Amino acid sequence: MGEFELIRHYFAAASCARAGEGVALGIGDDCALLELPVGEQLAVSTDTLVEGVHFPGNADPFLLGQRALAVSASDLAAMGATPIGFILALTLPSAEPDWLQAFAAGLDRMAQQCALGLIGGDTTRGPLSLTLTVFGRVPRGQALTRSGAQVGDLLCVGGELGDAAGALPLVLGQCQLPDAIAEPLLARYWTPQPQLDLGVALRGKATAALDISDGLLADCGHIAAASGCALRIELARLPLSAALLAAAGPVAAARHALSGGDDYRLAFTLPPIHLAALQQAGWPICVVGDVVAGSGVQLLNEAGVNIEQPRSGYQHFGKPSD
């Protein structure tokens, strides 16, 4: 099967490849054409997932298709952007019809969940890797960034943390757990749900935001550095799921939440005046700390004492940050 036949058969015919709002021209030409309403800016992000680095070699292609797009769409959520479309650059060792059919189906399902249209891409031969570029739109001046946290803000996250890290031994086949425990953990790893609607709801309210990909400690360090302040995380306030606690116990569960990564929940700083209304509206907001003068990230125990932090934050070309 040639490159263009592969694209036509598995991707151009998918539901997500139909032109939608903001897409003037999609698959079929040398470039896609996007249209933005007056007063809005284009948000763009790219992620690459490599076999053996970001996912195991025996990964289910349907689940991989879902996960690959969800990881990228989460960056749009972190900016408070409304989704428009995405581009897929797919490198394959060979064109296996069953694999491609399942991967395209998983990709299409997540695309429809995220209201993202497939608008172009490329295929080539080589070691399996997936590069996705996502596009969104946000009103001018309302994008959420990492640099606006203010002393006195609350530090919040968009729900329970650590489940994806807790699922990793299951993904790698290193252990087995009862279905009632394993299934919710595996769902959080393979089918993360980008918090796109929450990101939009935080426009004009959150002072800084990002999505948690490398662990709460490491990612909060990015907000602290960009904002010129310190973030305090209270160990006792970490939101941990019943499944994670049952699988790992409280100590390891907290470690997963702090430094495991792959959560793809939003972490953000919020003036206290906005908290009650957002929670009453049903948004899954958990307060885990606050913003203070200083620098870096502080981890506080139940007595409010700053304690040593676990190593955190995966880096491709270096050691984990301390």
Q: Report whether pLDDT(2) > 70.
A: no
Q: What is the mean pLDDT of residues 170-179?
A: 92
What digits encode the pLDDT tens for the residues 297-309? Answer: 999 998 788 887 7
Q: Which pLDDT belongs to residue 317?
A: 40
Q: What is the mean pLDDT of residues 237-258?
A: 97
Radius of gyration of the chain (CA): 20
Q: What is the edge-to-edge ordering of all strands in the sheet holding 117-125?
A: 40-50, 129-139, 82-92, 117-125
- Contact indicator for 151, 227 with CB cutoff of 8 Å: no
Q: Which pLDDT belongs to residue 9?
A: 67
Q: What is the edge-to-edge ordering of all strands in the sheet holding 230-234?
A: 208-211, 266-270, 154-157, 286-292, 230-234, 296-300
Between the CA of residue 66 and those of 87, 102, 112, 192, 199, what are the distances in Å? 14, 10, 10, 8, 20
Sequence-separated (6 or more) residues with CB below 8 Å from residue 318: none
Q: Which domains does the chain have, with CATH numbers?
A: 3-139 (3.30.1330.10), 154-300 (3.90.650.10)
The model's pTM is: 0.90
- Contact indicator for 113, 24 with CB cutoff of 8 Å: no
Q: Which pLDDT belongs to residue 319?
A: 47
More confident position, 20 or 241 = 241
What digits encode the pLDDT tens for the residues 108-163? Answer: 999 999 999 999 988 999 999 999 999 999 999 999 999 999 999 999 999 999 99
Q: How far is residue 238's CA from residue 74's CA, in Å, rounded to a whole number?
A: 21
Instruction: Say which range, 3-7, 204-208, 315-319, has the weakest mean pLDDT.
Output: 315-319
Which residues in 105-119 are b (16+ Cβ under 10 Å) and which e? ebbbbbbebbbbbbb
Q: Which pLDDT belongs to residue 19?
A: 66
